[in-house]
């Protein structure tokens, strides 16, 4: 396996991680917007349910906010413990016949 191959694997992994993190950030922002807008709609329709709606909003927002952190953990795994290097080395070794 040549250094150029390893460099390309790391470069493609870095681009993929960037796309993954951008999608997670965008999804989180859209999720926050939807959660808050629907809560405000519910409060506008039935103001007496405000405490219950706000409690539900914060519970669901907390659950939704964990998603980008889980994605961040997977992204760091791909960056620092890159599984593609070992797989590519095994494929090259098998192709060469060694």
The answer to whether residue 91 sits within a structural domain is: no
Total structural domains in the chain? 1
The answer to whether residue 12 sits within a structural domain is: no
The pLDDT tens digits for 10-68 are: 999 999 999 999 999 999 999 999 999 999 999 999 999 999 999 999 999 898 889 89
The answer to whether residue 68 sits within a structural domain is: yes
Percent of the chain with pLDDT over 70: 99
Q: Identify the pLDDT of residue 97.
A: 77
The answer to whether residue 8 sits within a structural domain is: no
CA dist list (Å): 36 to 12, 26, 41, 56: 36, 16, 9, 11
CATH of the domain at 56: 1.20.20.10
pTM: 0.75
- CA contacts within 13 A on the Cβ side of 22: 6
- Tell me: pLDDT of 98 over 80: no
* Domain that residue 74 falls in: 19-80
């Amino acid at each position: 396996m040549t250094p150029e191959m390893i460099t390309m694997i790391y470069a493609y992994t870095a681009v993929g991680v960037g796309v993954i993190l951008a999608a997670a950030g965008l999804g989180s922002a859209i999720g926050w917007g939807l959660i808050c807008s629907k809560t405000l709609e519910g409060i506008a329709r039935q103001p007496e349910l405000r405490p219950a709606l706000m409690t539900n909003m914060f519970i669901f927002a907390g659950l939704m906010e964990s998603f980008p952190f889980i994605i961040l953990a997977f992204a760091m795994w791909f960056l620092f413990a890159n599984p593609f290097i070992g797989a590519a080395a095994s494929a090259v070794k098998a192709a060469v016949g060694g």
